[in-house]
Structure 1
Amino acid sequence: MVSQMPEIDTALVNRRLAEIKLLADELKEILDMGLEKFLSDSYVRDAAKYKLLVAIEAAISICNHIAVRVAKEVPGSYSECFIILGRSGVISEELAKKLAEMAKFRNMLVHVYWKIDDRKVYEIIGRDLSDLDRFIDEVRAYLGQG
């Protein structure tokens, strides 16, 4: 008997997408405070890092869920997961590469947090936050919701 892979749990994916959207909006508010406030306030910096980490985790959760069901592959790493989605046409390959780099940055936030340059965090949020918005749009489009 051939076992069939479960379908995409759109309710789960939509909850995670909403979480990413909320966190991205909150990160935009932190950016609007400016670099000086960001660097001078440890609570703002810590909040930004945590929100970025959780947003990336939510994207990874979606990625793993879809990769197993659509590509029928179990990713060997968080960054590989996005590459799989790109290769499978769930998201663009260009976006997949950017999100793979974001997943690597997530690993740095978790495992070598003491080496993270706060200016770099602010720069990454300013430069790469739109990639999370694109991820939301492209996943929704793939699911026929956008």
Structure 2
Amino acid sequence: MLVEALIALCYHIARNAYGVRPETPVRTFSVLVEKGLMNAWEFEELVKLVRLRNLLIHRYWVVDDRRVYDSVRKDFKAVREFLERVKRELGF
């Protein structure tokens, strides 16, 4: 899943590039904002993706299928911009 890969990438960056060991995905994203690798808009969008992932995994019986469908159809511009910056600035 896209969100799992993003979380793993962000943990890897926080640990290896910045020497920080955050305990949650949201805190990991916060570290990247503090270090200037992620902007506030990307942070908000990635947090929304993590929340959707958590809903799908932990409370799937209350999932609004339309919400999931709309999320999948949306342009993942924040994800693409963040990944391009990681590639450009860190060479990943």
| TM-score normalised according to structure 2 size | 0.83
Aligned pairs (5 A) from 1:60-139:
60-127=7-74, 129-139=76-86
Contact 1:85 1:91 in 2 (8 A): yes
* Partner secondary structure for residue 91 of structure 1: coil
RMSD: 1.8
Offset of 1:113 from its aligned partner?
1.3
Who is 2:89 aligned against? Answer: 142
Contact 2:29 2:43 in 1 (8 A): yes
Residues matched between the structures, number:
92
Instruction: List structure 1 runs of 4+ shifted beyond 4 angstroms.
Output: none
Mapped partners of 1:108, 1:141: distance in 2: 32
Q: Percent identity?
A: 30
| Higher Rg | 1
Q: Give ranges in structure 2 of 5+ residues lacking alignment.
A: none
| TM-score normalised according to structure 1 size | 0.56
Bigger drift between 54-63 and 100-109 goes to 100-109
Indicate the structure whose relative CO is greater, using CA pairs within 8 Å and at least 6 residues apart: 1
